[in-house]
Amino acid sequence: MTRPESKLPITGLDIIRFFAAFLVMAYHLAFWSWAVRYPATANSITHGNPAFAYLTWLSWFGSVGVDIFFVLSGFVIVYSAAGRDSASFARSRVLRLVPGALLSASLSAVALLALNTVPAWSVATRFVRSVLFVPYGPWIDGVYWTLGIEVVFYATVFGLLKSLSIERLRLVLYPIGLVSSAFWLASALFGLNVYIDTTFGPSVVRTLQLLLVYHGNLFAIGGLLWAYLLGQRRGEDLLVIALCVVTAMLHIANDKAWEAEVAHSTVAVPILIWVACLAAMILSVRFNAQVSRVIPGRIARNIGIATYPLYLINDVIGAIFLKGAYALTAHAEVALAIAMLTTSALAIFIAACAEPPLRELLATAIDRASWKKHVPLPRNS
């Protein structure tokens, strides 16, 4: 870190993070709940009723929020790791991930048991896999698939802090970005991803996801933006970022092709949204002082910390709110608005009221365990 302002809160990133979560929620509730051709979480709860075919143009691209999340994670995780040792970094990540996942998974588990849409034994095993961050599913909700990928990137940064320093970040990010970019170039030119999907199946695909082959270019963009904007600038960073941006567009175009076909639209829509958010990230960092004067940092921070539980509960809990609101109002648009507002309010409550005491208990347990590990026991005289 070479600039004193680099550790200030970056207000704009919290707003972008919440926008990405809102996109995902709109996707699940207004598109995924009725348009999928196979049983999915939201679909299994609402059974496709109500359907929002007339809102497809506003919702089909919402899963691009995940691609925005991964870029944000690349930046924010490296940003938070700067100036820390490996132990304090690991502690901060555990305290950030575990309370929200435990509370959100518990809510989803209770809801699924009450609905009786999933056998109780399956709910129990899925719950355990979710709160333990088991990298392979099934989980309590499909949205947990991203957590394993996030944890792998956290572990990569942890290993870097343990063995070298955050300033040597390029030794990790360059290979991650280049390998992922090569994969998507080969997929665009030769159909490599289709070959893997059809030849090897979901387990191999999941393993490649966990190896950051599929999404490594997104994390690399975020991490290298930190290095270029707040660290030691290098011209080659821009070359790697540019390559990763191009291949990320190829990735998004591949992932959103089915939804674009259903919506009679074009993959250019999610690509443009992703690029706009990437530009907004850069501007948020460069003009953080100005943005902070317009948007109070405390409000932005509260919105930002609610993003994590909102992402984890929007599919199951949001679908339940949608089903209940539609049963009460019989108006699809009103039910959708109620579901989205109620889910957002619940996420804010979890982040502001439920997580802090649980996080404090967990922090105390971690600190006591660490103290006992490093302080020798007294000997009997």
Among candidate residues 259, 214, 209, the one with its CA nearest the CA of residue 35: 259
Q: Do 30 and 336 contact (CB within 8 A), yes or no?
A: yes
pLDDT of residue 1: 37
Asked whether the CA dihedral 78, 82, 85, 88 is positive or negative, the reply is negative
Tokens of 149: 């990928």
Angstrom distance (rounded) from CA 193 to CA 208: 10
Q: Do 185 and 209 contact (CB within 8 A), yes or no?
A: no
Residue 186: φ, ψ to 5°: -65, -35
SS3 287: coil
Among candidate residues 256, 265, 247, the one with its CA nearest the CA of residue 188: 247
Tokens of 249: 């567009």
| pLDDT tens track for 329-353 | 999 999 999 999 999 999 999 999 9
All structural domains of the chain with their residue ranges = 7-168+256-364
pLDDT of residue 242: 97
Q: Do 250 and 190 contact (CB within 8 A), yes or no?
A: no
pTM assigned to the model: 0.93
Identity of residue 237 = D
Q: Which residue has the tokens 């290979």?
A: 175
| pLDDT tens track for 113-153 | 999 888 999 999 999 999 999 999 999 999 999 999 999 99
pLDDT of residue 296: 79
Diameter over CA atoms, the chain: 81
Low-confidence residues of the chain: pLDDT under 50: 1-6, 375, 377-381
| pLDDT tens track for 352-379 | 999 999 999 999 999 988 776 654 544 4
Tokens of 55: 């809102």
Kindly state the DSSP code that residue 31 receives in the 8-state scheme.
Answer: I
pLDDT of residue 7: 60
Angstrom distance (rounded) from CA 168 to CA 175: 13
